[in-house]
Amino acid sequence: MASTQAQILVASNRGPISYTLDEKGTLKAKRGGGGLVSGLSAIGPEAGALWVCSALGDGDREAVRRGVGEEGVRMLDIPADVHEDAYNGIANSVLWFVSHMLYQTPLEPAFDAEFRRQWASFETYNRAFADALAEEAAQGAAVLVQDYHLTLVPRMLRELRPDLRIGHFSHTPWAPPEYFRMLPDDIAAQLLGGILGADRAAFLTQRWADAFTDCCHAVLGPGIPSGTRIGVHGLGADADFLRKRSHEADVNERIVALREQIGAGRKAIVRVDRTELSKNIVRGLLAYRQLLEDQPSWRERVVHVALAYPSRQDLAVYRDYMAEVQRLADEINSQYGTPGWTPVVLHLKDDFARSLAAYRLADVALVNPIRDGMNLVAKEVPVVSDEGCALVLSREAGAYEELGEDAIVVNPYDVSGTARALHEALSMPLDERAERTKRLAGAATALPPAQWFLDQLRALDA
């Protein structure tokens, strides 16, 4: 277990490590990646840091029960039913839908008694984090609370430990007031008030920060009452890691396999996403179909490589979405495919090495989310691209603020417009493509994960 009295604490739903149980009852640990993991490693082991996270599966829960753990990590064994209500019921089915503006409003949301029951679990879940942080933090410690799962923690923690310096970081977009106010008034106020318990609330772009401030004014009245400071930290790609990792043997193997699937002399339009409703994969496929229809000269000369990895398959709406992606890819292949050409190459099994291989050989990267806090794929592709790559980018991705000038920008709902953008991207001269890629990579790596994390810590001290 972690030693007490940490000077720097991070709190997030998912931790840096997860455990699985094999059939013999042996626990196996697996380390995670991502911006937070590399960010936290930047402060070094002597900094006295502690990561508080939730046990997510049976393996994690068993590890907590057996007292198995890792130095610097405290995993909370929140009852499975409470976690399910908080995580799938509220965080992923309500807060995610609000922030990404995903509701089909004629039918949803309907905030009924079941919602209130799940909301109570969400409060319990947040309270468990606040209690653990209060218990583990040294006097005056810095606490960085991450994301929409833990929006209530800053206020709860402030009440328990007024001495702490508390930051909250939102990795999602923030909805404008007219959408955010779909939530029941008391819930909207509680969410905003929860974050306003922090000394500093930070966001990925100025647009999301402004939307949060607008919501505070609309729901709570003028002014940010608590003296919470608002900040922006645009998380960038980890260039050193990506460039090194993308030239390892397994990636080179995947490149050979993908080139074979694409076929000699053809161009590749690449997308890499979780099959997440906000990623807009279906309209991307519709735009590709429109391209083949409107520009017959591209038939047999281009392949759409779509890496669409499973996400939240315990929610029916996500399973349905994944099935629709598969159906549409099959339909395009049967409509336009020839014996020597498969127009859409779809991979549904998560494979990081394959993702990097696809980044390297992409002629065009399609990143067209309905709405995205940042979208690191848009930043990662230019960094590892072998020959330079044209980026087709939704104006609703947070990354648009930094990359918009050198991307071909699309309205994510406009299928015909996206088809025209794909044609423009495929037709871009190689020298222009290389120049744009260089500028995109520069912007994409301006704030690497370690710096992003340290900047937040420094800003808390300021």
| pLDDT per residue as tens digits for the range 369-390 | 999 999 999 999 999 999 999 9
Kindly state whether residues 318 and 227 are assigned to the same domain: no
Kindly state whether residues 412 and 285 are assigned to the same domain: yes
Residue 281 confidence (pLDDT): 97
Residue 315 confidence (pLDDT): 79
- Asked if the model's pLDDT at residue 2 lies above 50, the reply is no
Kindly state whether residues 63 and 195 are assigned to the same domain: yes
Judge whether 427 lies within some domain: yes
Kindly state whether residues 195 and 281 are assigned to the same domain: no
The total of other beta-carbon atoms located within 10 Å of residue 96's CB is: 18
Measure the CA angle with vertex 43, ends 38 and 45; round to 5°. Answer: 100
Kindly state whether residues 93 and 206 are assigned to the same domain: yes
- Asked if the model's pLDDT at residue 406 lies above 80, the reply is yes
pLDDT (average), residues 298-304: 98
- Asked if the model's pLDDT at residue 45 lies above 70, the reply is no
- Asked if the model's pLDDT at residue 400 lies above 90, the reply is yes
Cα–Cα distance measured from residue 342 to residue 333, given in angstroms and rounded to the nearest whole number? 6
Non-local (6+) Cβ contacts of 58 within 8 A are: 21
- Asked if the model's pLDDT at residue 24 lies above 80, the reply is yes
Residue 225 confidence (pLDDT): 61
Kindly state whether residues 157 and 243 are assigned to the same domain: no
Kindly state whether residues 160 and 137 are assigned to the same domain: yes
Residue 4 confidence (pLDDT): 61
Q: How many CA atoms lie within 13 A of 299 on its CB side?
A: 15
Judge whether 195 lies within some domain: yes
Residue 342 confidence (pLDDT): 97
Task: Work out the mean pLDDT of the chain and round it to a whole number.
Answer: 94
Cα–Cα distance measured from residue 403 to residue 399, given in angstroms and rounded to the nearest whole number? 6
**Of 5, 12, 10, residue with least CA distance to 126:** 12
> Can you read off the two tokens belonging to residue 266?
């053809």
Task: Lowest mean pLDDT of 20-24, 181-185, 266-270, name the range.
Answer: 20-24
Q: How many domains does the chain have?
A: 2
**Percent of the chain at pLDDT above 70?**
97
Kindly state whether residues 106 and 248 are assigned to the same domain: no
Kindly state whether residues 195 and 256 are assigned to the same domain: no
- Asked if the model's pLDDT at residue 224 lies above 70, the reply is no
Residue 227 confidence (pLDDT): 84
Kindly state whether residues 259 and 339 are assigned to the same domain: yes
Domain that holds residue 95: 6-235+451-461
Residue 223 confidence (pLDDT): 65
pLDDT (average), residues 234-256: 96
Cα–Cα distance measured from residue 23 to residue 439, given in angstroms and rounded to the nearest whole number? 50
Kindly state whether residues 77 and 211 are assigned to the same domain: yes
Kindly state whether residues 295 and 427 are assigned to the same domain: yes
Judge whether 1 lies within some domain: no
Helix (H), strand (E), coil (C) string for the chain: CCCCCEEEEEECCCCCEEEEECCCCCEEEEECCCHHHHHHHCCCHHHCEEEEEECCCHHHHHHHHHCCCCCCEEEECCCHHHHHHHHHHHHHHHHHHHHCCCCCCCCCCCCCHHHHHHHHHHHHHHHHHHHHHHHHEEEEEEEEEECHHHCCHHHHHHHHCCCCEEEEEECCCCCCHHHHCCCCHHHHHHHHHHHCCCCEEEECCHHHHHHHHHHHHHHHCCCCCCCCEEEECCCCCCHHHHHHHCCCHHHHHHHHHHHHHHCCCCEEEEEEEECCHHHCHHHHHHHHHHHHHHCHHHCCCEEEEEEEECCCCCCHHHHHHHHHHHHHHHHHHHHHCECCECCEEEECCCCHHHHHHHHHHCCEEEECCCCECCCHHHHHHHHHCCCCCEEEEECCECCHHHHHHHCEEECCCCHHHHHHHHHHHHCCCHHHHHHHHHHHHHHHCCCCHHHHHHHHHHHHHC
- At residue 44 the predicted structure's pLDDT band, cuts being 50, 70 and 90, is low
- Do 441 and 399 meet the contact criterion of CB atoms below 8 Å apart? no
Judge whether 128 lies within some domain: yes
Residue 311 confidence (pLDDT): 81
Q: Which residues pair with residue 392 across a beta bridge? A: 366, 408
Judge whether 141 lies within some domain: yes
| pLDDT per residue as tens digits for the range 408-430 | 999 999 999 999 999 999 999 99
The CATH number linked to 425 is 3.40.50.2000
- At residue 32 the predicted structure's pLDDT band, cuts being 50, 70 and 90, is confident
- At residue 70 the predicted structure's pLDDT band, cuts being 50, 70 and 90, is confident
pLDDT (average), residues 41-51: 78
Residue 462 confidence (pLDDT): 77
462, 234, 395, 14: CA torsion to nearest 10: -110
| pLDDT per residue as tens digits for the range 311-368 | 888 778 889 999 999 999 999 999 999 999 999 999 999 899 999 999 999 999 999 9
Measured between alpha carbons, how far apart are the two ends of the chain, in Å? 32
pLDDT (average), residues 210-235: 89
pLDDT (average), residues 282-310: 97
Q: Whole-prediction pTM value?
A: 0.94
